[in-house]
Amino acid sequence: MEKPITLFDRRFELYIPEPVIHTAISDVAARINRDYAEAVRPLLLVTLSGAIVFAGELFRQLEGPFEIAFVKVSSYGAETTSSGRVAVEVPPTAAVEGRDVIIAEDVVDTGHTIHALHAMLAEQGARSIRVATLLLKPDPYYRQPERPEPLPVDYAALEAEPRFIVGYGMDYDGLGRNLGALYAVCDEERHD
């Protein structure tokens, strides 16, 4: 059993080891390569900052004329979790009109971010929009009361319980993004 790690005041235990993550990302890359074999200049649109580690590894395994671009959004307001208000801080760094776009996320939790991005990309005339994520938390995602029809999460490398998770791009107040495995906050500090 690996020893827990500490970031600031919290302890985290190993949740998903590194080899499992690499295999899961390679599986997603293989599926995307099959699905986009005929696509013309598809675009991997990476949400800053958390998705950069996953997206870098994924992008390296994509074949064909894929391009990469970035976007940054943030949730805001006191009722962020219930209202899902999302602000665009950095608009997409490449034009999306007429393009087949894959949004790359580190985690889909409530799903507010991907729904906001999807609406924005549709408005900007993207030809198709899919979602690839390192982690999907099905419990919060499929239990959003105001959202009867969740978007499909087309490529979820891994699924996770509704715990607070760091590593592989995900942070706790800025720390932990460079951890090579995924770590979940220890039981007594569960974040449901």
Q: Is 109 one of the catalytic residues?
A: yes
Q: Does 105 bind ligand PRP (CB under 6 A)?
A: yes
Least gap, CB of 93 to ligand PRP (angstroms): 16
Whose Cβ is closer to ligand PRP: residue 65's or residue 161's? Answer: 161
Taking a C-beta distance cutoff of 8 angstroms, is the pair 43, 130 a contact? Answer: no
The residue within the footprint of ligand PRP, chosen from 112, 118, 130, 163 (CB under 6 A), is: 112
Of 56-64, 89-97, 111-119, 158-166: span binding ligand PRP (CB under 6 A): 111-119
Query: How far is C-alpha 39 from the chain's CA centre?
Result: 22
16-55 footprint of ligand PRP as x/- string (CB under 6 A): -------------------------------x-xxx----
Instruction: Identify which of 179, 132, 135 has the alpha carbon closest to the alpha carbon of residue 161.
Output: 135
DSSP per residue, 99-164: -EEEEEEEEESSSHHHHHHHHHHHHTT-SEEEEEEEEE-HHHHTT-TT-SSPPP--EEEEE--SS-
Contact footprint for ligand PRP (CB under 6 A): 47, 49-51, 74-75, 105-113, 171
